[in-house]
Amino acid sequence: MDRLPGKVKRALRAKYYDIQPKAWIGKKGFDEGAINEVSTQLKKDGVVKVEIRKGALISTEMKREEIAQKVAELTDSEVIDVRGKRFILFRPREGWEKYLRRLKFKEISKERREEKPVDKVRLDIAQFRKKFKKGRE
């Protein structure tokens, strides 16, 4: 379910590495309250860091990466990074379709800018000297 290219994920990971966790997954696992909190934080900021408590690992009997993927599926978001007991989720506020379309247009415009060669201007030295010689007189 990777919707984001690796380049975008790396940029988001670097930008939001040091934010504080705003939601927690506890011993109740994926209950409604935890998922609703993650979802509201995603609506508000677009990015949320979630912390996995020890009780969640015991009660769900899942690995950290699996828990992060499950929460991402339930909240329609993308896992950016899993480090230790914390993971970062991203969901664009304007919606996935609009966000991915905008990324696509950025790439296309970047390619267009790179494709155009620079036109070299031929300079006639004799004409150039006459022009500036007139200006000095």
Mean pLDDT of 10-14: 91
From edge to edge, which strands make up the β-sheet containing 86-90?
Answer: 23-25, 47-52, 86-90, 78-83
Place of tokens 């040091």: 18
Please, what's the b/e burial string for 72-83 (b: 16 or more CB within 10 A of its CB; e: otherwise)?
Answer: beebebbbbbbe
Residue 2 above 80 pLDDT?
Answer: no
Domain extents in the chain: 1-137
Q: What element of type H or E holds 70?
A: helix 64-75
Q: Over the stretch 23-60, which tens digit does the pLDDT of each residue have?
A: 999 998 888 999 999 999 999 999 999 999 999 999 99
Helices and strands of the chain, counted as H and E runs: 6, 4
Bigger pLDDT: 41 vs 116: 41
| pLDDT single digits (tens) 71-114 | 999 999 999 999 999 999 999 888 888 888 888 888 887 777 76
Question: Does 3.40.1160.10 match the CATH number of domain 1-137?
Answer: no
